[in-house]
Amino acid sequence: MNDCTCEGEFIWACGPECDCFHHEQYEIPEEDDYYSYDGGTTWYQYGKQIFKCSGRCEEPHNIGAHLAAYAIREKFWPNAWIISDHGNPHLHVYME
């Protein structure tokens, strides 16, 4: 039986009970991670917008600088994910 609640939209929203879930294929963002659906311009956490980049956010190092500044202000450094238009999460390294 497939108890999938992701409705095929975002594979990372699926759980182990879903037929479409593949542990070995995708890492799954944690609840408190940062994530973006628009390539890194608008960032969310816990389902709420936390900030929106202004200026030149289209380059990865600029996205990282904005995320790092926000994380430092919040004193919290979760993973950051850019969700593709296919719904797949891609880990974005913003601090090393």
Residue 19 CB partners (closer than 8 Å, separation 6+): 2, 4
Domain locations along the chain: 29-92
Q: Is the pLDDT of residue 1 over 50?
A: no
Locate 62 and state its tokens. 């600029």
- Residue 91's alpha-carbon distances to 52, 64, 70, in angstroms, are 18, 12, 17
Locate 16 and state its tokens. 């182990």
pLDDT (tens digit per residue) in 4-48: 555 544 544 555 555 554 444 446 688 899 999 988 889 999 989
